[in-house]
């Protein structure tokens, strides 16, 4: 039985975070826009003059890049943000070409190898997003806008005129333009394949092969991000560490295959009992972790109590399963990720010593109430379970 991660939105979030994310794209965009100002700076040094319209146009592009950077840095992850910024990246390249066509030399806009290559860069950088649809969208927009610019320049001006050719660019011809458009399309296809492969590898790297839920690698990455978000918006964040009671004895008595089935079954019960906003991880061995954004300790306890009762109702081979849970909440229990994990682990240890089959947190009584067992293990199994 193999289960896929429950929250598709969270899966996309994981991929975006793993391969760079919107913040990385925003930083690259800022660097490229800063490089655009080398052109007016070159004009100023060489000709002792500068085109004010061109400078204003580049400044407007810079402002847009800064706004996108701030959005990527200070807002939650939203899939629509990647679509908007990706489309804007291509449009910014087109805006630069239009600026040259309007204020400098139209042949530069229609025949520049350097400026046209920015389209390829915009298509390539879209691979840092997790969706193939973004790459396809960027490719189509780039081809459409570039074709429109080249067509307008060809119809508006005689680009074969010696006035334009003297600028150091080759003659304008549609055979070369068709080659560029084909190359843009080929770049889009290759980038789409690359995104598909990266997404697949990212899923493998962040997913537990047995249960299909997120693994500890992604847990460590995501915990730091969730704490940062909780600090920014001043919302609580609860972390629960879940341990399967007597799991070693179960493995020793019934075999590891049976133990794997128990782990998968309890994982499935957790997934069904958790809310859409909660994220489940395999923390290691028989331990699972639940990250509960914008959730107080009391609310987390309510959600998890129902799951504890559901798990305890499961009977396998005349044995009733149970789990123990330790809860820690930011910022009441800890201020950073490692401390939060330690507090949750301490509470879990208290739950195990207090009788198992219960939940312990800072707002929960330290002594676990003993729930009536549906079956009572005997003999060697009971001794092994007590040793756990």
β pairing state of 323-330 and 359-360: parallel
Taking the C-alpha atoms of residue 176 and residue 307, their distance in angstroms, rounded to an integer, is: 65
Tokens of 191: 């980038």
List of the chain residues with pLDDT < 70: 1-22, 39, 43, 50-58, 74-79, 104, 160-170, 364-388
The torsion of the CA quartet 29, 34, 35, 38, rounded to 10 degrees, works out to: 160
pLDDT value for 367: 44
Quickly list H helices, 255-322: 256-273, 297-312
State the pLDDT at residue 383.
32
Buried b (16+ CB within 10 A) or exposed e, 378-388: eeebeebbeeb
List the chain domain ranges: 8-206, 216-387
The three-state secondary structure class of 335 is: coil
Asked if 282 and 211 touch (Cβ cutoff 8 Å), the reply is yes
d(CA 5, CA 267): 11
pLDDT for res 224: 86
pLDDT at res. 364: 60
Q: How far apart are CA 223 and CA 383, in angstroms?
A: 37
Is the Cα dihedral 32, 99, 97, 63 positive or negative?
A: positive
Sequence-distant (6+) residues with CB within 8 A of 276 are 6, 7
Say what the pLDDT of residue 180 is: 92
Q: Provide DSSP, 129-158.
A: SS-HHHHHHHHHHHHHHHHHHHHHHHHHS-
291 neighbors 239 (Cβ within 8 angstroms)? yes
Cα 143 to chain centroid, rounded: 28
How many separate helices (H) and strands (E) can be counted in the chain? 16, 7
pLDDT score at 156: 83
**Which one of 3.30.70.270, 2.40.50.180, 1.20.1250.20, 3.20.20.70 gives the CATH number of domain 216-387?**
3.30.70.270
């Amino acid at each position: 039985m193999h289960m896929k991660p429950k929250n598709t939105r969270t899966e996309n979030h994981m991929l975006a975070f793993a391969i760079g994310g919107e913040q990385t794209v925003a930083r690259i965009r800022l660097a490229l826009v800063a490089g655009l100002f080398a052109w007016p700076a070159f004009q100023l040094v060489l000709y002792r003059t500068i085109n004010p319209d061109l400078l204003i146009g580049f400044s407007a592009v810079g402002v847009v890049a800064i706004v996108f950077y701030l959005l990527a840095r200070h807002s939650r992850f939203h899939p629509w943000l990647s679509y908007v910024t990706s489309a804007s990246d291509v449009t910014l390249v087109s805006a630069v070409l239009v600026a040259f066509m309007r204020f400098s030399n139209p042949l530069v806009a229609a025949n520049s190898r350097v400026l046209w290559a920015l389209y390829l860069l915009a298509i390539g950088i879209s691979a840092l997003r997790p969706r193939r649809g973004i790459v396809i969208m960027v490719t189509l927009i780039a081809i459409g806008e570039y074709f429109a610019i080249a067509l307008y320049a060809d119809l508006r001006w005689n680009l074969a005129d010696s006035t334009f050719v003297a600028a150091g660019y080759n003659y304008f011809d549609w055979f070369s333009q068709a080659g560029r458009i084909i190359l843009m399309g080929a770049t889009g296809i290759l980038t789409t394949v690359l995104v598909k492969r990266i997404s697949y590898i990212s899923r493998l790297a962040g997913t537990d092969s047995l249960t299909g839920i997120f693994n500890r690698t992604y847990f460590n990455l995501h915990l730091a991000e969730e704490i940062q978000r909780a600090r920014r918006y001043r919302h609580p964040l609860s972390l629960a560490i879940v341990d399967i009671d007597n799991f070693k004895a179960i493995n020793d008595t019934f075999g590891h295959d049976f133990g794997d089935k128990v782990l998968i079954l309890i994982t499935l019960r957790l997934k069904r009992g958790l809310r859409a906003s909660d994220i489940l991880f395999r923390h290691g061995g028989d331990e699972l972790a639940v990250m509960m954004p914008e959730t107080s300790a009391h609310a987390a306890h309510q959600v998890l109590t129902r799951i504890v009762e559901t798990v305890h109702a499961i009977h396998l081979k005349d044995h009733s399963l149970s789990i123990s849970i330790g809860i820690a909440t930011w910022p009441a229990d800890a201020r950073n990720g490692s401390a939060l994990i330690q507090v949750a682990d301490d509470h879990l240890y208290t739950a195990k010593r207090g009788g198992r089959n219960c939940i312990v947190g800072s707002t929960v009584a330290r002594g676990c109430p003993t729930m009536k067992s549906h079956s009572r293990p005997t003999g060697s199994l009971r001794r092994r379970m007590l040793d756990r």
